[in-house]
Amino acid sequence: MKQAVRSVALVSALVAGVLLSESAHAYIDPGTGSILLQGLIAAIAGAFVTMGMYWERVKAFFRRSNAPNVDEPAEHD
């Protein structure tokens, strides 16, 4: 319980610090933009790899749900 209270207090302090801070007048060099771009590209690549790993399972899940139920007898007219 104390751990949860500490976590909430820490997150609240961080959010308050970000929202209530004034302008920093800081310089962001080109290296920072490069790192952010690399992180974005890595996140997109990771998402595609993860989708590729599970794509067959997703397709099989939807194929099974749309397949006719074998427990019910087929109606012939």
pLDDT at 39: 96
Confidence bin at 72 (pLDDT 50/70/90) = low
pLDDT at 35: 94
Condensed to tens digits (0 to 9), the pLDDT of residues 8-32 reads 999 999 999 888 888 877 887 889 8
Contacts of 74 (CB under 8 A, 6+ apart): 68
CA atoms of 23 and 29, how far apart (whole Å):
17
CA atoms of 25 and 2, how far apart (whole Å):
38
Overall pTM > 0.75:
no
What stretches of 1-77 adopt beta strand conformation (E)? none
